[in-house]
Chains A and B, each alone.
Chain A
Amino acid sequence: MIGLVILGTFLMLIVVAYMAVSDLYLSGSVVYFMALGLGSTVLYFIFSAPDVALTEAVIGAGVSGVVFLVSLLQTQTREDEQ
């Protein structure tokens, strides 16, 4: 049962990584990247690394996504001005 869960999470992570690379919009890529962090959290937790899972849940699925999104918004504003 747990093997099926691990396999499914791995497959989903590959699909999400492909979608993050191939998305038309950069903001969509950031959202898929955050979903990648969520899936990594599940895998870290299954593989008995709750410390790393906690870090990944906050940084990978939260703060880094917001930082990427804000950088995207700021650079787009600069481009519109010119």
Chain B
Amino acid sequence: MATYPEECCGILIGRPLPEEEGAQVERLLSAQNVREEESRHNRFLIEPRTILAAQREAEAAGLEIVGYYHSHPDHPPEPSTFDREHAWPGISYVILSVLNGAVEVTRSWRLQDDREDFQEETIDTAIGTPALAFGAR
């Protein structure tokens, strides 16, 4: 939580599990928050060039971008209207609530196809492996 009290963000690389509407995460890529300094406490931005490079790297390894994560410093881990307007369905949006510099709660969300709302999904952490798996609730 080195970025606290600013927001952190990054890319989840792994394998989609289409039959479960979920994904298995193999790698986390932390990304630089390129928002201007005065906005970083409540906004994040990962540049498209960073995402294009991550997408190509993932595909070369037989993997895909399966989601993104960001933190909400001193705020609940629920998607904002702004988050909804800047999302696509079909991938996971993980939000970490960070209180006083420590991760308090982590939740994961998927945008509905009609863009009206996010649905929460479960996060399964496999102890002893770097993998996370997401699934529909």
Q: Are A and B part of the same complex?
A: no
